[in-house]
Amino acid sequence: MAFPAYGLTHRATATGRRGMVASGHPLASLAGVRILLDGGNAIDAAVATAAALNVVEPYMSGIGGVGYMHIYSARQKEHKICDYVGLTPAATDIDMYVEESQQDRGPMSPLVPAACAGWMESLRRYGTMDAADVFAPAIELAEGGFALTVKNSSFFAGSVNDLRKYPSSASTYLVDGRCPEPGEVLIQQDLAETYRAVAADGPDVFYGGAIGDVIAAFMAEMGGLLTKQDLIDNKPQWLDPLGVDYRDFTIWAPPAPCQAIQYLETLKLLEGFDIAGMGHNTADTLHTFIEAVKLACIDRIQYATLPDSPTAGLLSDGYCQQRRTLIGETAAVSMGDTFRTEQQKGEVAPGDPEPWMKNECTTHFDTIDAEGNAVACTQSLGSGFGSAMVVPGTGITLNNFMRWFDNVDGSPNAIGPSKKNEMCVSPAQVWDKDGLRLLIGTPGSYGILQTTPQMIMNVLDHGMNVQAAIEAPRLKATRNHNVDIETRIPADVRGELERRGHQLSELGDWSAGVGGGQGIHVDPDSGAFMGGGDPRRDGYALGC
């Protein structure tokens, strides 16, 4: 088959045969493509892209952050997920967090920065190139500088006040204390040197060596909890992906406590409806989607972080058939994205997946090569520039993923020592019986869990090409009856949703508030690649 032409696009769709990279910035995509053209595979290209994104999207992700890299190895014919989501420091105690701001920014907000270990472990297991060659494009960008885009500057602007609080952050990212403007050149010499050290000496220099010493000393000086031992104890994990059948495809994503179980359950609930027959972004389709999200969301809140999360039950045909009957003609009340002790009248409640266990078992980027190796990766610093703290002399911005814990006793996702949080970053791979068809994902915090299934449905249910699927207008259900919605969804559809009880907050025609997706579609007949990048941010796909 040829790639579908259905769907409106505002930028040219990229194609390729040797390989492709779709990422959140054109220079990062170019870094990955350079590696492919130099003979590297998709995993080499993925690490090169990840490192370059740290340079050109420093507010989104980086070596001081966390993520999941979902790898398919063509030679080993295996799926594996490199989990580089760091734990909380061992000294963490929920009683230490008196003010919400302590989770949001500053020295008590970082998890162990695990991205460095994840990148290097992925290269060790599946890569083909020397680390020095893989990091070379990012080092060039950091050392030589890059010109900021309009969207770069706008993302910087939202964090200026926080960056000013820390001299090392201000000197790294601000120009005389102000937000850099579009076209100004940002040089990150310290980060370039950190990359050189990691490429030469491996991850030990970051965790047990000289860089780890600097991180630990800075944290101690600033009153943080992260110690040298926390760094030394960090180890990336190799996980098997979690899959769910949807139509004639299987959607693969990281397992719990990754929050991907929410969008997998959402899709499984929607499998019982004729989404294609309802039509793209009609009131019936969107209402059904919103109500399915509410059911899947409350189940995710209840079960994702349990030691033995009952995911097989949550995603089983029988359980989803039972839960599907709760979707009515009017809007139900939603708890929202996080655990709350109070329950409102009419609020959807979690189901009981246990009986079904017996019966059935944020930047994002994608890379692929001609051999069939493929990577879908979502990684993050948390908020813009994470903790807003740059470790002096290293260029490393530390994450603030303590914010994604609940400061509520009794929550399954409550703050605690050496603990993995309920992680929102959740890349997807879509396969059919003959092979890989789609790599896709998005940034967007909790919105990832709603943007991802909308993009997947656009391809699988509505026959869109990947660029159109990413550009199509979307929405995000929040708390109570509230729904954030892009206004490219027609006024009559919005009016009907309101009649059914949804309270709409209009975001304008294009909003980064509903993510910034990237994807690669694989043609089942020719094996050619088509890539998509989201114009809501600086997303760009490049093929070769």
Give the pLDDT confidence of 201-244 residue by residue, as tens digits. 999 999 999 999 999 999 999 999 999 999 999 999 999 999 99
Q: Is 88 a catalytic residue?
A: no
Low-confidence ranges of the chain (pLDDT < 50): 1, 337, 339-341, 347, 351-361
For 247, residues 6+ apart whose C-beta sits below 8 A from its C-beta are 271, 460, 461
Name the strand (E) or helix (H) holding 102.
helix 101-104
pLDDT score of 307: 81
pLDDT score of 355: 46
pLDDT score of 340: 46
d(CA 279, CA 461): 9
Sign of torsion over alpha carbons 97, 101, 104, 107: negative
pLDDT score of 3: 61
CA geometry: angle 372, 376, 378, nearest 5 deg? 165
Give the amino acid at 307: P
Give the pLDDT confidence of 355-383 residue by residue, as tens digits. 433 333 289 999 999 999 999 999 999 99
User: Which tokens sit at 199?
Assistant: 């490429």
User: Which tokens sit at 416?
Assistant: 């605690």
CA geometry: angle 44, 47, 51, nearest 5 deg? 140
Give SS3 for 49: helix
Give the pLDDT confidence of 499-532 residue by residue, as tens digits. 999 999 999 999 988 999 999 999 998 999 999 9
d(CA 409, CA 415): 8
What is the rounded radius of gyration, in angstroms, for the C-alpha atoms of the chain?
A: 22
Using DSSP bridges, classify how beta strands 185-186 and 390-391 pair: parallel, antiparallel or unpaired.
unpaired
Please report the DSSP string for 438-461 in residue order.
EEEE---GGGHHHHHHHHHHHHHT
Q: Where are the domains of the chain?
A: 28-65+92-233+383-404
pLDDT score of 343: 55
d(CA 59, CA 392): 17
User: Which tokens sit at 451?
Assistant: 């943007």
Q: How far is CA 386 from CA 362, 450, 503, in A?
A: 11, 22, 31
CA dihedral 490, 493, 499, 504 (to 10 degrees): -50
- 504 in Cβ contact with 497 (< 8 Å): yes
pLDDT score of 335: 53
- 251 in Cβ contact with 315 (< 8 Å): no
For 454, residues 6+ apart whose C-beta sits below 8 A from its C-beta are 289, 472, 474, 475
Q: Which of 141, 142, 138 is nearest to 45 (CA)?
A: 138
For 308, residues 6+ apart whose C-beta sits below 8 A from its C-beta are none
Give the pLDDT confidence of 82-126 residue by residue, as tens digits. 999 999 999 999 999 998 899 999 999 999 999 999 999 999 999
User: Which tokens sit at 103?
Assistant: 């989770």
Out of 362, 378, 394, 442, which one is annotated catalytic? 362
